Amino acid sequence: MPSLDLILQGSEWLARGRASEALHCAEEALRQEPHDADALFLLGAAHYRDGDLAAAEARLKQAIQANGKVAVFHSTLGNVYQDRGALPEAVAAYRRAIRLKPDFAEAHNDLGTAFFAQGDPVRAAESYRRATELRPDHAVAYANLGAVYRKLGMPREARHALQRELVLRLRNFFRLKKRHRSLAELAHEELRLGNPGLALRIGRRALEQDANNPRVVALLAAALRQEGSLEEAIGCAQRAVELRPADARSREQLGSLLLKAGSAQSALPHLEECVRLQPRSPQALLALAEAHMALGDREQASQLAQRSSALEPKDATLWVRLGELLSKQGLAAQAELAFRRAIELDPAAPAAWIRLAGLLRLGGRLQEAKTCAEQAVALDDESSAALIALGLALREQGRTSAAVARFEQALRLEPQRAQALQQIGEILHYENKIEEAERRFRDGLKSRPDSIALLVDLAMVLGDQMRYAEAFACLEKALAHDPRAAPALAAKGILQDLTGREAEAESLLRSALQAAPQDADIGHSLASCRLRHWHFDDGWKGFELRRHKENFIGRYRKFPFVEWQGEPLDGKSILVYPEQGLGDEIMYASCIPELVARARHVAVECDHKLGALFARSFPGCTVTARLRTMANDWVNHLEPRPDYQVPMGSLPGHFRRRVEDFPQHGGYLAPDGRKVAAWKRRLDAIGPGPKVGLSWQGGVGHTGRARRSLTLEQLLPLLRLDGVHFVSLQYTDVDGEIRDLAARHGITVHHWQGAIDVYDETAALVCALDRVVTVCTALVHLTGALGRPAIVMVPFGSDWRYGAQGERMLWYPSVRLIRQGAIGDWPPVIESVRRLLQG
């Protein structure tokens, strides 16, 4: 007899309480297929029914090892643990089952029993209530709920629950029971138990008997979706719609599958027909809203979402989906209400707590986010999603060590979880531990060689090391798995742009955006590409998408003023606030004079290092220099009170829309004259000859440090110029390198740390020098904004701020760019700089 028939026969014997016959069937099936997870489970369940707990535990663990994604395997192991009195292990097993299948009523009921045995009737009641919501005909859950209510001193609730139990038992007693269930019914039962693999095996057998049974075809589509076979699932769902075109569930199933596959346009007519057939179905309305959202129709999506929520569904899962949709629409307050409603309906489900934690984190409410994530972990300390949510909150708080510990914990629980490994790698990447980040990504790919996310992350790390051939190989592998994978297309586009292939880069980024139209990172990357090539009109428009990126610093700035969109500022006051690094603050500040000319008053917030410099340079403005923190109440004391607010990075979109809009200024930042004079005296003491400021290292790992940086050894052709005195303006720790240069070559590079530590002193020193030679770093912006001459050594595939070609830097007329002609080819650049200095 084939193994499937043996498993079905054994399951039937087990249902009748004949454990020995079930054991025989399981053993025979295992003789045919020794590693069949379903046969192992049947053997374990039969041992459990026979009272052999040790044998049951061993076999169930083997079944889970063979296939750990089946909910009923874990819940049955939980029953074994509970019968053994191992309650913590039982709770953990039930939670694993619920994590795999959140609507698994039996697991919720059994979890309630474990909580009750642990002396926690409150959580037991929550679990029993959830079981009855999921299965209103669950008589045992009602009986258990009644018992718990009695324990909690709630007689009225206990009476209602027990009356419901009695009704259900009588109904079941008088209901005609079938001895033999159909294959379709058996397959449906396996789906309910969280075993889509066995459901698929049974469903295929049923289809052999009746190829046009719409129920079986739809069931196969559901099982295939859970098994990850999306294309085959869509085929079955399409067949189900052909067989029953007026069936709303079939329409919704097909529409949801097409939506999941990224075919929102194809999904739309099926979901519209589903809503026409079931106009008061919250699920149907929400699915249609999700389709409209995927197509970029936010208004229609919002209307449908409102209709769905107005029906007040009692399904917590639906409220979570609604919250996710509202969050994508940028409706944070409404999304928060939806997640909190889900928590009200099912406070013991970690999913809503996790989503709420993410929403609060993105809104800058980090402590609240951390609290919600901690609650999710308390509900299920083996949930890798909850641990990742907590790690993300900790990371945003700057507690990277604690965050990594949570990500590592998630990774131990679920080694295949790419997100945890990604977060660890990204933290290492941002902390400039490039080699270690690369190692972690490669380690992850050993167990998940087809992970597109990990391949993309590894490619970007390799790109930051200028190992472009290896990077492109990673991306080609990712795209071989999914040619429409937006992250891989975008990463390839970014690297193509860095390697000088503008047309290919833009085409790839547009393809990526077409595949993921709501992805702000991709849209921002495309905008940066456009800006690099001086396409300012659509470039600045797309640049606004930076504000929707998850790592956008400015998203925490919650000021009580209207966002300025270019309205007339006559008689109005406006607050300008920073959002990026020092160099960007200086560059965007070039627009402040134009804002001053239009507004009654301008208030400027800036980094604490720039306070003295900005206050001196913009005397008509109220300049507030401060460390960036979550505390924004300081704006309430501004006088006059601002009418508008605008992030600095949005100013060029109003004032730099054409090449002609960039002013030919002689410097818009004003140094401290006394400090400049003091530095000139100090420089004169060095001796006669030109004094040249020098910076040779730029950025950190994830901002292209390898691409942008040089060593003093590489700069020897400059440093050996007769009569030229070089002064270090390098902000990183370079004392050792300067000493080595002196010892090895007898060349002195002067370095005064005090000039580096205080930015106002740096500005004064720059003005005292004859010129500056630098790589791409914040010093470029400072020197250019002061109107001082600078020569910038620009790598091939430079950042958008430096443009794509030519010697001119639009932002700073005093800056001259010397570009690499090929990737990593510095000698010709250094020779050009040497000639300029010599001349």
From CA 623, how far away is CA 602, in angstroms rounded? 9
From CA 54, how far away is CA 77, in angstroms rounded? 11
Higher pLDDT, 108 or 138: 108
- DSSP string across 660-710: GGS---S-S----HHHHHHHHHHHHTT-SS-EEEEE---S-GGGTHHHH--
In a domain, 374, yes or no: no
Q: Tell me: the pLDDT tens digits for 455-508? A: 999 999 999 888 999 999 999 999 999 999 999 999 999 999 988 888 999 999
| Model pTM above 0.85 | no
Mean pLDDT, rounded, for 320-336: 87
* pLDDT at position 178 over 50: no
- Structure confidence at residue 473 (pLDDT): 97
* pLDDT at position 232 over 60: yes
- Structure confidence at residue 422 (pLDDT): 85
Contact predicate 256/287, CB 8 Å: yes
The model's confidence at residue 555, banded by pLDDT at 50, 70 and 90, is low
In a domain, 743, yes or no: yes
Residues 691 and 597 in one domain: no
From CA 625, how far away is CA 609, in angstroms rounded? 7
Q: Tell me: the pLDDT tens digits for 589-612? A: 999 999 999 999 999 999 999 999
Residues 468 and 511 in one domain: no
Domain with residue 633: its CATH number is: 3.40.50
Q: Tell me: the pLDDT tens digits for 234-285? A: 999 999 999 999 999 999 999 999 988 888 899 999 999 999 999 999 889 9
- Structure confidence at residue 699 (pLDDT): 65
The model's confidence at residue 176, banded by pLDDT at 50, 70 and 90, is very low
Of 551, 582, 604, the residue that ends a domain is 551
Residues 688 and 546 in one domain: no
Mean pLDDT, rounded, for 515-526: 90
Average pLDDT, the chain: 90
Low-confidence winner among 28-32, 145-149, 402-406, 416-420 (lowest mean pLDDT): 416-420
Residues spanned by the domain of 680: 673-838
* pLDDT at position 175 over 60: no
Low-confidence winner among 53-62, 183-192, 383-392, 753-762 (lowest mean pLDDT): 183-192
Kindly calculate the radius of gyration of the chain based on its CA atoms and give it in whole angstroms: 33
Residues 563 and 710 in one domain: no
Of 162, 186, 210, the residue that ends a domain is 186
Residues 40 and 104 in one domain: yes
In a domain, 347, yes or no: no
The model's confidence at residue 773, banded by pLDDT at 50, 70 and 90, is very high
CA distances from 314 to 318, 342, 750, 784 (A): 8, 9, 72, 61
In a domain, 201, yes or no: no
CA 429, 557, 596 angle in degrees (round to 5)? 110
Low-confidence winner among 276-290, 319-333, 545-559, 628-642 (lowest mean pLDDT): 545-559
Mean pLDDT, rounded, for 104-111: 93
Cross-strand partners of 626 = 607
Contact predicate 576/603, CB 8 Å: yes
Long-range CB contacts for residues 741-747, cutoff 8 Å, separation at least 24 = 741/712, 741/713, 745/716, 745/719, 745/720, 747/716, 747/719, 747/720
Higher pLDDT, 751 or 556: 751
* pLDDT at position 702 over 60: no
Residues 649 and 684 in one domain: no
The encoded tokens of residue 334 equal 């409404």
Contact predicate 274/286, CB 8 Å: no
The model's confidence at residue 171, banded by pLDDT at 50, 70 and 90, is low
Residues 540 and 560 in one domain: no
The model's confidence at residue 3, banded by pLDDT at 50, 70 and 90, is confident
* pLDDT at position 177 over 50: no
From CA 242, how far away is CA 264, in angstroms rounded? 20
Domain with residue 517: its CATH number is: 1.25.40.10
- Structure confidence at residue 180 (pLDDT): 57
From CA 12, how far away is CA 6, in angstroms rounded? 10
In a domain, 290, yes or no: no
CA distances from 227 to 118, 231, 810 (A): 35, 11, 55
Helix (H, G, I), strand (E, B) or coil at 466: coil
Low-confidence winner among 180-184, 222-226, 699-703 (lowest mean pLDDT): 699-703
Residues 684 and 808 in one domain: yes
Mean pLDDT, rounded, for 754-774: 96
In a domain, 445, yes or no: yes
From CA 22, how far away is CA 6, in angstroms rounded? 9
Task: Work out the number of other CB atoms within 10 angstroms of the CB of residue 634.
Answer: 12
Residues 544 and 529 in one domain: yes
- DSSP string across 183-200: HHHHHHHHHHTT-HHHHH
Helix (H, G, I), strand (E, B) or coil at 181: coil
- Structure confidence at residue 17 (pLDDT): 85
From CA 392, how far away is CA 405, in angstroms rounded? 11
In a domain, 69, yes or no: yes
* pLDDT at position 16 over 90: no
> Which helix or strand (DSSP H or E) is residue 793 part of?
strand 790-794
Higher pLDDT, 497 or 170: 497
- Structure confidence at residue 745 (pLDDT): 95
- Structure confidence at residue 444 (pLDDT): 87
Number of domains in the chain: 5
Residues 13 and 115 in one domain: yes
Phi, psi dihedrals of residue 663, rounded to the nearest 5°: -70, 150
Low-confidence winner among 69-73, 165-169, 170-174, 775-779 (lowest mean pLDDT): 170-174
What is the DSSP secondary structure assignment for residue 808, as one 8-state letter?
B
Domain with residue 724: its CATH number is: 3.40.50.2000
In a domain, 222, yes or no: no
Where b means 16+ CB within 10 Å and e means fewer, 332-370 reads bebbbbbbebbbebbbbbbbbbbbbbbbbbbbbbbebbb
Residues 467 and 488 in one domain: no
Residues 546 and 562 in one domain: no
Of 133, 152, 186, the residue that ends a domain is 186
The model's confidence at residue 711, banded by pLDDT at 50, 70 and 90, is very high
Q: Is 540 exposed, middle or buried (0-12, 13-18, 19+ CB in 10 A)?
A: buried
